[in-house]
Structure 1
Amino acid sequence: MTEPAIYSSLNEAMRLGNIPWENHATVTGIVEAIGIQSFHAHNAYGIRAVRREEGPDLWIAYGDTSGFTSKEEARRAAPELPRWPDRKKGQWGVTHPENRHRDGGGTRRDRPVGEKCPSCFTEKASNGSCLCD
């Protein structure tokens, strides 16, 4: 069995971990607030972020981040985001601005797929920028 990839940077992790461009600033803020020492591939999608200090890993996915030790830690890391308890692990998570969570009516909030950059292969933001910029 091969070991999961270790990414060289947060930008590489977000690009290869399928984190949408619209969530990059949010994820960067969370990572800076918590203090992360390394980023690892998690399955086909997402990132396992290992803390510098003691505590559970953060699990960064397309539309959310979980692994916060308390509601207060989640609030400090991402004060503007909705928080929720992860009852399976006794931890907390936050929902990113761009996500695939279902709204109250049970329908997905789909958005059109954007143009891909031919150089870095990421989806361009609505203003046309990408990871190459």
Structure 2
Amino acid sequence: MNNRIIVDTGPLVALLGERDARHQWVKGQMATIRPPMLTCEAVISETCFLLGRNGGHPVSVLQLLDIGLVSMAFDLSAQVRSIRLLMGKYADVPMSFADACLVRMTEILDDSCLFTLDSDFKTYRKHGNREIPTIMPAG
């Protein structure tokens, strides 16, 4: 795959949780992705929380950063206004903070593709009206 891949919480949780229903699907997709996948601190925080809540090991997501499979590529301090506007625009969905950061990342990294399990990204638009290219399960 040639595009830069931005990764959401769902695929990371599924990758690190062998009992996760989407584990095998995510592993199959990973075979087509050239590292590093890009993400933001909000996604890492959500992933740590969900892994811990479900009996996993939150530190395992940090190991993905250590080995270079995942890399941070977002400066929140430079994007606060854009994040606030996105969350306001999609308040009826509602849009989480992490989702807003990911949408903003797709705007900044215009040739990127978002690896997600979250169907809300079919609703969200980058630059106001452009569909966000995604890797997500059918259905």
Which of these two proteins has the greater Rg computed from alpha carbons?
1
Going by fraction, where is helix more abundant, 1 or 2?
2
* Same fold by TM-score greater than 0.5: no
Going by fraction, where is strand more abundant, 1 or 2?
1
Bigger relative contact order (CA 8 A; separation at least 6): 2
